[in-house]
């Protein structure tokens, strides 16, 4: 029995959360654990807290039960944070719940994890937090609804099994989840590839506006507030853009910059073969993985872009 299973069994109330602006792995891990507890431990009261999720993730069972923090924070017996490397990147409003909990656990796969919980289980070489979580659960207790959530998390963070973090173990887990009844083709299409018309328009504009640098080895594009308004789009509609930039022939590093209404901008970084974009994101307080990272900057994004491009150029020159 894993430490996580043991801690769950000793608790009467459990809170689950992930990081701000939850992606597919964050939602997959959180909902995978939530469904696992609901269906195996009905005597435990468990709540899952996440910021609003993309529509494509709502095919996972019980996503309509996701809560947002409100009022005075409750003191849970156990607080489990998944796919989150820093306490201040937790779902907005959940830090107070975390501080009030009797026990806290952090399950993650980010190399930049700061080990902020009482118990931290971080496997940096894993494809996803969903993969790390699977290894902590009793495989005999994993139901179809939990399996679908975990599978979604794995395909989202492994790029449908094509990123370097995909291992033999990743594929073995995927096979076991499929054995439980997961419809792989449906999940991959609906979660990873299917786009709304708005998303397709935004992607097209982003590609048209993209800029290549350093002999075509770096590419970036900007989604401005005006573009969000023009296409009636939101942050959820950015899914897949930076990955499409990364796939441009000859490109090693790709950057997606998206403006927000709050006067901040989010940078998403991806690399193809050798560049460590985690080091690039860390220059402005961000982080993530070697091949995928991000950060949020305040003020004019142009000034931050100059800093990032200088760091990227340094890594490109080092590779020559």
Domain spans in the chain, listed from the N-terminal domain onward = 3-193, 197-319
- Burial grade of 77 (CB within 10 A; 0-12, 13-18, 19 or more): middle
pLDDT score at 74: 92
Residue count of the chain, please give it: 320
Residue of 116, 158, 123 lying closest to 292 (CA atoms)? 158
pLDDT score at 239: 86
Strand order in the sheet with 13-17: 45-49, 13-17, 78-82, 103-108, 119-122
pLDDT score at 116: 97
| Single pTM value for the model | 0.85
Q: What is the CATH number of domain 197-319?
A: 3.10.310.30
pLDDT score at 319: 57
Give the Cα separation of 258 and 265 in Å (integer): 5
pLDDT score at 288: 85
pLDDT score at 260: 87
Give the Cα separation of 122 and 202 in Å (integer): 35
Q: What is the mean pLDDT of each run of 10 residues along the chain (320 residues)?
A: 96 97 96 98 98 93 96 94 95 96 97 95 96 98 98 95 93 98 95 91 97 97 96 91 95 96 90 94 90 92 96 80
pLDDT score at 263: 82
pLDDT score at 17: 98
Pick the CATH number of 3-193 from 3.40.50.1220, 3.90.1640.10, 1.20.120.1200, 1.10.3720.10: 3.90.1640.10
Residue of 304, 282, 195 lying closest to 243 (CA atoms)? 195
């Amino acid at each position: 029995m894993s430490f996580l299973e043991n801690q769950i069994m000793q608790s009467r109330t459990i809170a689950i959360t992930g990081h701000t602006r939850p992606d597919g792995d964050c939602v997959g891990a959180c909902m995978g654990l939530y469904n696992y507890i609901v269906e195996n431990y009905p005597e435990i009261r468990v709540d899952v807290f996440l910021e609003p999720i993309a529509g494509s993730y709502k095919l996972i069972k019980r996503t309509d039960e996701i809560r947002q923090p409100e009022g005075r924070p409750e003191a849970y017996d156990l607080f489990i944070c998944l796919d989150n490397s820093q306490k201040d990147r937790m779902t907005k409003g959940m830090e107070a719940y975390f501080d009030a909990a009797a026990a806290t656990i952090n399950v993650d796969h980010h190399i930049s994890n700061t080990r902020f919980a009482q118990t931290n289980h971080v496997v940096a070489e894993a494809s996803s937090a969903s993969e790390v979580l699977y290894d902590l659960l009793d495989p005999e207790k994993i139901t179809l609804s939990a399996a679908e959530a975990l599978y979604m998390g794995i395909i989202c963070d492994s790029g449908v099994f094509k990123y370097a973090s995909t291992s033999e173990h990743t594929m073995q887990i995927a096979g076991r989840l499929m054995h439980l009844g997961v419809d792989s083709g449906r999940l991959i299409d609906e979660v990873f590839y299917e786009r709304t018309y708005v998303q397709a328009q935004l992607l097209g504009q982003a590609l048209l506006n993209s800029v290549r640098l350093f002999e075509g080895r770096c590419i970036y594009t900007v989604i401005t507030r005006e573009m969000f308004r023009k296409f009636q789009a939101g942050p959820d509609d950015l899914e897949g853009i930076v990955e499409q930039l990364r796939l441009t022939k000859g490109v090693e590093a790709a950057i997606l910059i998206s403006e927000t209404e709050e006067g901040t901008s989010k940078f998403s970084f991806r690399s193809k073969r050798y560049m460590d974009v985690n080091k690039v994101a860390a220059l402005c307080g961000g982080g993530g993985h070697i091949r995928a990272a991000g950060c949020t900057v305040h003020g004019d994004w142009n000034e931050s872009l100059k800093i990032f491009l200088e760091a990227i150029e340094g890594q490109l020159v080092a590779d020559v």
